[in-house]
């Protein structure tokens, strides 16, 4: 476990995925309850895969409420591209990994600092090979990024993302603690709180409260099996 922790706080844990595409999310994930966030990300996977013609006959009843929170035009220009998906306590990073295009291999495609990531999820029972996350940046706004990760990988990927967020939260909490009693403070006021803690104020709840694995960035992570809320 120590080795995995060292990787997350260092160069990161790398997975090889196929990038499918992304779709705009038109509202803040913080404004939605957990179930709506979960349904929204699963709808993202369906809509991006449908545009990329990857449903292969799978039937899907559109979640009308979730669909209303998404943009109309998924981007699939790089569908099927092999990428290295790297998870660390600093960011989720995606790099070109198509070995047939040596000159482009290693080119950075996406980098989302963890505080900019708001939710991660696996697909539903019909789409178990897919994972996605919602992140916001200055160039693309708020979008959901969809990847095909292969059978049995989604739960492991989400666990790794959750571990990265929890480690980051733990280090931020530790760094915000006042000096020990043996080192006198210069005043009676505690040290200022790190601005980075704004997104990480809810204590980690180690007990899953929902059956599905998922993740949301309302602060610290409460890990479920197919979603993660940050």
The boundaries of the domain holding residue 203 are: 2-173+195-229
Give a yes or no: residue 181 inside a domain.
no
The pLDDT of 96-108, averaged and rounded, is: 90
Percent of residues, the chain, with pLDDT higher than 90: 59
Give a yes or no: residue 97 inside a domain.
yes
Give a yes or no: residue 7 inside a domain.
yes
The confidence band for 230, taking pLDDT boundaries of 50, 70 and 90, is: low
Give a yes or no: residue 187 inside a domain.
no
Which domain CATH number covers 37?
2.30.29.30
Q: What is the pLDDT of residue 201?
A: 26
Give tens-digit pLDDT for 4-20. 778 898 889 999 999 99
Give a yes or no: residue 190 inside a domain.
no
Give a yes or no: residue 189 inside a domain.
no
Give a yes or no: residue 179 inside a domain.
no
Give tens-digit pLDDT for 154-185. 999 999 999 998 898 776 666 655 544 333 33
Specify the pTM.
0.77
Q: Do 23 and 75 form a contact (C-beta atoms < 8 A)?
A: yes
Cα–Cα separations (whole angstroms), residue 186 to 177, 183, 193: 15, 9, 16
Structural domain total, the chain:
1
């Amino acid at each position: 476990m120590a080795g995995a922790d060292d990787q997350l706080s260092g160069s990161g844990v790398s997975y090889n995925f196929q990038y499918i595409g992304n779709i705009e999310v038109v509202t803040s994930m913080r404004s939605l309850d957990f179930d709506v966030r979960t349904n929204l990300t699963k709808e993202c996977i369906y809509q991006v895969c449908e545009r990329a013609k990857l449903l292969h006959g799978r039937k899907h009843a559109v979640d009308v409420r979730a669909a209303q929170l998404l943009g109309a035009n998924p981007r699939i220009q790089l569908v099927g591209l092999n990428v290295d998906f790297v998870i660390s306590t600093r960011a989720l990073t995606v790099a070109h990994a198509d070995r047939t295009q040596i000159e482009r291999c290693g080119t950075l495609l996406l980098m989302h600092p963890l505080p900019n990531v708001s939710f991660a999820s696996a697909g539903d029972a019909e789409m178990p090979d897919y994972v996605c996350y919602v992140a916001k940046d200055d160039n693309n706004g708020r979008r959901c990024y969809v990847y095909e990760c292969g059978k049995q990988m989604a739960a492991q990927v989400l666990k790794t993302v959750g571990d990265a967020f929890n480690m980051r939260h733990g280090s931020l909490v530790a760094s915000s603690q006042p000096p020990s009693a043996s080192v006198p403070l210069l005043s009676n006021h505690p040290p200022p709180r790190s601005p980075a803690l704004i997104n990480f104020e809810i204590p980690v709840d180690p007990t899953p409260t929902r059956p599905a694995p998922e993740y949301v960035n309302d602060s610290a992570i409460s890990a479920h099996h197919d979603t993660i809320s940050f």
